[in-house]
């Protein structure tokens, strides 16, 4: 498509390269400035490292959504479900490991009056098992829901609404204490991860570095994937699925594959996020939060992975900054930004440069993904 070659030839590779370069720089800088050089003038405080790590996980989450939305045309307003799934699974591991090896009884056992943890907590003290679950469980969830929906040709707006409903249902279920996930209290009181003290300086910097590294790897991997034939097929499905079907392609499996991959990436982001904030709670499953993820991607620019990463980074950074200074103003700023972007910049910030620099050439309709 014209927009594809246009974007690829002129914008994307360059922007992608910038993003990759920034990420590589961060992967090097964060452990250095946070570790050995922490005391120096340019040193990174644990607080800042923590913020950078959290922003990296949000960027990974946005990347996961952009994979299916920007390139697959599947809007999900319930990606918080996968994010939270990854988060809950790692939390279960930390609590179980703390209980089995450290003798720290999880709060939820105390106030529920349980003498042992429910059956679905079995084996979670093992880190490899937890990792396996983080890949399997969200993958399975994504597969189940994706398979049923794509087969019934549920798409577009309906699909989006139903993902909202799904994350809402999950939130309601997790709010109940009897499901054994800590209910409204969620899970907190993590002590160690992989034997290291969770609150310690080393762990904070380590997690932040790991988050940035994960983002880098995911970015490079997904970019490569999208440039491959599979990626081209995905984009073709986005642009005109019916035509593709008529041409004889089976559109179900590519969509499903991309959807499952997206779910797993989101779960990994969640698994990196939760140890950094120290708590997980069903609020993560709220429909509003899942919509915010779509906002990040829309703002940065759906058409490119780098757009999603930049969008998530900017909005999260703004949020952290502003909620510290002027918490009342933040919702207004966010709303206004979204409105401006949605009405004036259909492709998000990626539209900014062409409109500024190429006057007369309206890239409004063309290149717009819907």
Q: Which of residues 304-343 bind other proteins (CB under 8 A)?
A: 310, 313-314, 317-318, 320-321, 323-324, 327-328, 331-332, 334-336, 338-339, 342-343
- Cα separation of 65 and 74, whole Å? 9
The 5-44 site mask, x for binding other proteins (CB under 8 A), equals: ---------xx--x---x----------------------
Stretch that binds other proteins, among 49-57, 131-139, 207-215, 234-242 (CB under 8 A): 49-57
Q: Is 366 in the site for other proteins (CB under 8 A)?
A: no
Residues 288-307 that bind other proteins (CB under 8 A): 288, 291, 294-295, 298
Q: Is 62 in the site for other proteins (CB under 8 A)?
A: no
- Cα separation of 97 and 127, whole Å? 9
Q: Is 104 in the site for other proteins (CB under 8 A)?
A: no
From 115, 128, 248, 359, residue interacting with other proteins (rule: CB under 8 A): 115
**304's tokens:** 């490119």
From 13, 35, 118, 189, residue interacting with other proteins (rule: CB under 8 A): 189
Q: How many angstroms separate the Cα of 340 from the Cα of each of 272, 326, 336, 346, 358?
A: 32, 21, 6, 9, 20
Site size for other proteins (CB under 8 A): 91
Least Cβ distance, residue 134 to other proteins (angstroms)? 19
Check: CB of residue 187 under 8 Å from CB of residue 88.
yes
- Residue 225 or 369 with smaller CB distance to other proteins: 369
From 24, 32, 256, 279, residue interacting with other proteins (rule: CB under 8 A): 279
- Cα separation of 108 and 281, whole Å? 13
Q: Is 221 in the site for other proteins (CB under 8 A)?
A: no
CA dihedral 50, 191, 168, 321 (to 10 degrees): -20
């Amino acid at each position: 498509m014209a927009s594809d070659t246009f974007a690829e030839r002129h914008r994307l590779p360059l922007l992608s390269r910038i993003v990759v370069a920034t990420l590589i720089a961060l992967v090097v800088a964060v452990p250095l400035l946070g570790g050995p050089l922490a005391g120096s003038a340019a040193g990174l405080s644990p607080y800042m490292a923590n913020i950078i790590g959290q922003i990296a996980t949000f960027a990974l989450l946005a990347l996961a959504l952009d994979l299916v939305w920007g390139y697959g045309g599947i809007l999900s307003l319930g990606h918080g479900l996968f994010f939270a799934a990854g988060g809950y699974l790692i939390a279960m591991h930390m609590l179980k490991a703390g209980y089995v090896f450290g003798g720290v009884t999880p709060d939820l056992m105390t106030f529920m009056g349980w003498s042992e943890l429910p059956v679905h907590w079995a084996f979670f003290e093992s880190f490899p098992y937890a990792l396996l679950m983080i890949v399997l469980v969200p993958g399975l969830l994504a597969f189940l829901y994706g398979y049923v929906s794509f087969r019934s040709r549920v798409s577009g707006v309906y699909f989006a609404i139903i993902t909202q409903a799904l994350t809402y249902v999950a939130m309601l279920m997790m709010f109940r204490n009897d499901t054994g996930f800590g209910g409204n209290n969620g899970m907190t009181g993590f002590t160690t991860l992989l034997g290291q003290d969770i609150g310690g300086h080393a762990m904070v910097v380590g997690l932040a570095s790991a988050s940035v590294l994960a983002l880098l790897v995911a970015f490079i991997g997904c970019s490569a994937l999208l440039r491959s034939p599979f990626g081209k097929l995905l984009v073709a499905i986005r642009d005109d699925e019916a035509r593709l079907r008529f041409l004889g392609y089976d559109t179900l499996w590519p969509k499903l594959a991309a959807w499952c991959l997206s779910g797993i990436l989101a779960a990994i982001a969640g698994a990196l996020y939760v140890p950094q904030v120290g708590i997980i709670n069903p609020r993560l499953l709220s429909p509003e939060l899942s919509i915010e993820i779509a906002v990040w991607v829309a703002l940065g620019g759906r058409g490119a992975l780098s757009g999603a990463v930049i969008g998530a980074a900017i909005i999260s950074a703004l949020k952290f900054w502003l909620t510290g200074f002027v918490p009342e103003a933040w919702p207004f700023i966010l709303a206004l930004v979204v409105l401006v972007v949605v009405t004036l910049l259909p492709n998000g910030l990626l539209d900014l440069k062409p409109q500024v620099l190429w006057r007369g050439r309206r890239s409004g309709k063309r290149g717009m993904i819907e």
